[in-house]
Every structure is written in structure tokens, then in C-alpha cells.
Amino acid sequence: MLTFRVEKLVPGGYGLARTERGVVLVKGALPGELVRGEPKRKKGALFLEAPEILEAHPGRYPGPPPPSAHQHHPPPEPLPPSADLPLAYEAQLPLKEALVRDALERVAKLEAPLAPIRPSPRPLAYRTAAQYARHPLGGLAYRLPESHELHRLEKDPLLAEPLAWAFDVLKLWPLPVEEVALRGSLLEGKVLLGLVGGVPEALKRPAKALVQEGFAGVVWAEPSPKGRFRGRVTPLAGERTLLEAFGPLKATVSVESFSQVNPLAAGALLEEARTLVFGGRRALELYAGSGLFSLLLSPRYEEVVAVEISKEAVRRGEMDRKRLGAENVRFLRMDARKAEALGAFDLVVVDPPRAGLPPEVRAYLLRARPREILYVSCDPATWARDVGALVQGGYRLAFARPYDFFPFTHHVEVLSLLRL
């Protein structure tokens, strides 16, 4: 059994500590906390998954209530297990900014200036999308990532309205499904529901009843080993999409495809991104999703090409393009690794998954040499790896700012611009 103090937060949300046995990565521990436990070796490193906290960080959330506080205010709702940074919000921001700065210095080998982190407009009640398992004893539960154990939830304080209302409704409905997925719109004040698993024919009547209860629409999804909504999807009742505001842009969202879960924070990033680029003749967006950047930047370019592999995302993007009258935007359903065939552009926007840019895309950027690369990332380490390669290839990191899209988690978004 070891007793030691956590030094800092590192990628993955772990606290790092240096002990006589070597470096230990501690799940759920905050910088400065004194913890005790027996680390286990896994994948060549020492991990402590369930530490006993002997001395807590003074800002640990929710913290002990002051005397007689319950007489005036109810205690804060407990956070779900996905919230792996249980710290007062103001104290979270410098830790997240440090993750990005450390990645720049350690991975990219750069000392480029970093703009101050932009906080989320809402530290709680910010999520407009969420997924839960049905608990065998009733109610909704969070599925722990590695063990797949179910952690039953009474509330989820990260949910924005009207998802909080939907959560309260669904935890009382004994639906014969494996999981439920929610996607809401702050703009419309509505919620879409996805039912994963079960028999779709048996869910048609409950789906209609749920729409009468207040849900905007319900779809059924076939469980798939490839991931949620990767199998068959069947509409059961009501609407299929909603309209959401992302800063200056209104775009469609659906329950079965990816869109940013914090539209207020994403809107602030889009606003700033629009001010960074020069404009020009041709622009390309890779990993475009439904084309938020393409639609946003279309007035600044003669031609904009949005490349996305997801059929459903392209369908929503085309809906938005027609609604907005963006005639100079063209959607292509293809793999971003084949961008070489598209030729040269003044601007290339990339917003890849956590793995960052594959070698083929990095090679394309260095051969095509667009004047500007707008790089948005959800993983500071892979972003820094790619930025380092682009800088070595002749680019300059002209701007970088962390954005907090996911309060109370270790995740942090980065907006950056590279120029020749």
C-alpha cells in the first residue's frame, strides 16, 4: 500500500504522482491531493483506479456544505461517473489550459503563445446530448467504460433543459430497450429520443405515447458492435431532426449522429474562427460532419467543399445548405484520406476525431500547401503531434486557444490556425 501526493493532471484525466515504485497514474485524483492505494501494473504503467483520498483538494466538488446551508439551498446534485474532474469550475480552467500548453511544449516542441482558455458559458446544465443504459431494477444508469458495470443515476446535473425533463420522464418508463439516447435543442426547447435495442414493432405504441408526452420524435436503433447508431435506424414517431443555434449559425441536429453537445461553447468557437481566416477563392473542410465551418465561411470564399464519410451527416448538411441558400458549398461523401484528388485550396479546415490526422492527410497538407490551415481538435496530444509535423514542414502556428466544451471532465477543445 502506497501513500503519496498527486503532482499534476495529465491526458486521459489521470493524476500523475512520482513514487518509490515509479510514476503512478491515479484515476479521480486531483493535483495536490494526498491519496493511498495499491497500484496495479497495466500496459507497462502503474495505475491506481480507486484511491482512498486522505487530503482532498480544497476546491473538490461538491465539497462539504457550510453549516446550516441546507436550510437555504439544497446541496449540489452528485456528478455522474463521466465527470472525472470534480473540481470547482474556476479551478478546472488552468488545469485544462496547462494540458494544452504541456502538449505544445512536450509533443510539438514549440513555445508558441497560447491564448487564454475560453470557459463554457455554462459550467453545469450544458449538455444537449446524452446516452444512458436501462438499469435492470428500473431507471437510467451510466455504463462504466472498462468494466461495463451500471451506475444508477437519479439526476444528471450536466444536462441542459429540456433534457433534464426528458431524463426525469424516462427513468419512470419501463421501456424494453438496452439504452436510450437524447438529443435536445436549446433553440427550439425540444428533445429527440433514440431507443437502442428491443423490438421496433413492440416500441411503436410507446413511441407515439412518448411524443404525446412531449418528445419531439423517437427513432429505434439496432445494437451494433461498431457503435451506437451504426446499425439499422428506424423512425418510430414524430420529428427526425431539430434546429439548433451554434453561435451565428443555425443547423440541424439529430439523435443518431454526432453534433457538438455544448452548442453555446461551440458557437463561441465558430464566432472566433470566422475572424481568424483571410478568405479567398477555394476552401476545403475535412471531417466536416454536417458542414458547420463550410456553411459559416461560405460568404468568404468563392467555392467551399465539405468532405464527410457519414451519410446521415451529409444528409443534414445538404438540408442546411439548401435552407441557407449556400450555393457555393458542395458536400462530398468520401474518406478524408483521399483529399489529394481534390486539388489545392486557400484554406483547409480539419476537425478530426481524437486520433488526429492520419499520415495521408498530413502528407496531403504538406504537398498541397494551403495558405491557411484551421485546425480544431478534441485531443491536445494528437493536435500537438500534427502541429509539430506541419511546423516542421514550413507552417507557423499563428494562433491557438483552448476551449472548454466539457466542464467537469478532463476533455478540452483547441482552436488553432497555421499559416505559411
Q: Which residues pair with 305 in a beta bridge?
A: 284, 330
Task: Give the three-class secondary structure for 70.
Answer: helix
Distance of alpha carbon 47 from its chain centroid, rounded? 25
Q: How confident is the model at residue 29, as a pLDDT?
A: 93
**DSSP strands (E only) in 210-324:** 217-221, 233-238, 242-246, 249-253, 280-286, 301-308
Sequence-distant contacts of 168-171: CB under 8 A, at least 24 apart: 169/210, 169/213, 169/214, 170/132, 170/140, 171/138, 171/139, 171/140
205: enclosing H helix or E strand: helix 200-213
User: 3-state SS of the chain: helix, strand, coil percent to 5?
Assistant: 25, 30, 40
Q: How confident is the model at residue 148, as a pLDDT?
A: 81
What is the C-alpha to C-alpha distance for residues 40 and 61, in angstroms, rounded to an integer?
Answer: 27
In a domain, 253, yes or no: no
In a domain, 274, yes or no: yes
Domain holding 193, by residue range, is: 129-244
What is the C-alpha to C-alpha distance for residues 360 and 81, in angstroms, rounded to an integer?
Answer: 37
In terms of domains, do 271 and 407 share one? yes
Where does the pLDDT of residue 73 fall: very low under 50, low under 70, confident under 90, or very high at 90 and above? low
What is the C-alpha to C-alpha distance for residues 162 and 186, in angstroms, rounded to an integer?
Answer: 8
Q: Taking 80 as the threshold, does the pLDDT of residue 145 lie above it?
A: no
**Neighbour-count burial of 235, counting CB atoms closer than 10 A to its CB (0-12 exposed, 13-18 middle, 19+ buried):** middle
Q: How confident is the model at residue 65, as a pLDDT?
A: 56
Where does the pLDDT of residue 379 fall: very low under 50, low under 70, confident under 90, or very high at 90 and above? very high
In terms of domains, do 339 and 356 share one? yes
What is the C-alpha to C-alpha distance for residues 161 and 169, in angstroms, rounded to an integer?
Answer: 13
Domain boundary among 214, 244, 274: 244
Domain of 240: which CATH number? 2.40.50.1070
Q: How confident is the model at residue 44, as a pLDDT?
A: 84
Residue tagged active-site, from 35, 378, 387, 418: 378
For residue 382, the one-letter residue type is T
Residue 341: count of CB within 10 angstroms of its CB = 8
pTM: 0.93
Show Cβ contacts of residue 134 under 8 Å, excluding neighbours closer than 6 positions: 140, 141, 175, 177, 178, 179, 180
Q: How confident is the model at residue 63, as a pLDDT?
A: 67
In a domain, 278, yes or no: yes
Would you call 378 a catalytic residue per the annotation?
yes
* Residue labelled with grid coordinates 453561435: 247
In terms of domains, do 413 and 272 share one? yes
In a domain, 255, yes or no: no
Per-residue pLDDT tens digits for 84-113: 999 999 999 999 999 999 999 999 999 888
| Over residues 362-380, mean pLDDT | 97
Distance of alpha carbon 234 from its chain centroid, rounded? 25
Low-confidence winner among 73-87, 167-181, 329-343 (lowest mean pLDDT):
73-87
Q: Taking 80 as the threshold, does the pLDDT of residue 242 lie above it?
A: yes
Distance of alpha carbon 50 from its chain centroid, rounded? 25
Q: Taking 80 as the threshold, does the pLDDT of residue 70 lie above it?
A: no
Q: What is the mean pLDDT of the chain?
A: 94
Low-confidence winner among 59-63, 280-284, 292-296, 341-345 (lowest mean pLDDT):
59-63
Domain of 412: which CATH number? 3.40.50.150
Q: Taking 90 as the threshold, does the pLDDT of residue 77 lie above it?
A: no
Where does the pLDDT of residue 67 fall: very low under 50, low under 70, confident under 90, or very high at 90 and above? low
Domain of 56: which CATH number? 2.40.50.140
Distance of alpha carbon 112 from its chain centroid, rounded? 25
Whether 361 contacts 339, CB under 8 Å: yes
Where does the pLDDT of residue 175 fall: very low under 50, low under 70, confident under 90, or very high at 90 and above? very high
In a domain, 187, yes or no: yes
In a domain, 407, yes or no: yes
Q: How many domains does the chain have?
A: 3
Phi-psi region of 42 (alpha: psi -120 to 50; beta: other; left: phi over 0): beta
Dihedral sign computed on CA atoms, order 299, 304, 310, 312: positive
What is the C-alpha to C-alpha distance for residues 200 and 203, in angstroms, rounded to an integer?
Answer: 5
Q: How confident is the model at residue 112, as a pLDDT?
A: 85
Show Cβ contacts of residue 154 under 8 Å, excluding neighbours closer than 6 positions: 139, 171
In terms of domains, do 269 and 389 share one? yes
| Over residues 202-219, mean pLDDT | 97
DSSP 76: P
- SS3 string, 124-138, reads CCCECEEEEEECCCC
Q: How confident is the model at residue 32, as a pLDDT?
A: 95
Q: How confident is the model at residue 412, as a pLDDT?
A: 97
What is the C-alpha to C-alpha distance for residues 286 and 271, in angstroms, rounded to an integer?
Answer: 19
Largest CA distance in the chain: 67
Where does the pLDDT of residue 68 fall: very low under 50, low under 70, confident under 90, or very high at 90 and above? low
Q: Taking 80 as the threshold, does the pLDDT of residue 66 lie above it?
A: no
Q: Pick from 181, 197, 193: which is nearest to 236 by CA?
A: 193
Q: Pick from 156, 157, 215, 153: which is nearest to 184 by CA?
A: 215
Whether 358 contacts 382, CB under 8 Å: no
Q: How confident is the model at residue 64, as a pLDDT?
A: 59
* Residue labelled with grid coordinates 429527440: 192
In terms of domains, do 213 and 280 share one? no
Q: Residue 151: phi, psi to the nearest 5? A: -110, 110
In terms of domains, do 406 and 343 share one? yes
In terms of domains, do 266 and 172 share one? no
In a domain, 285, yes or no: yes
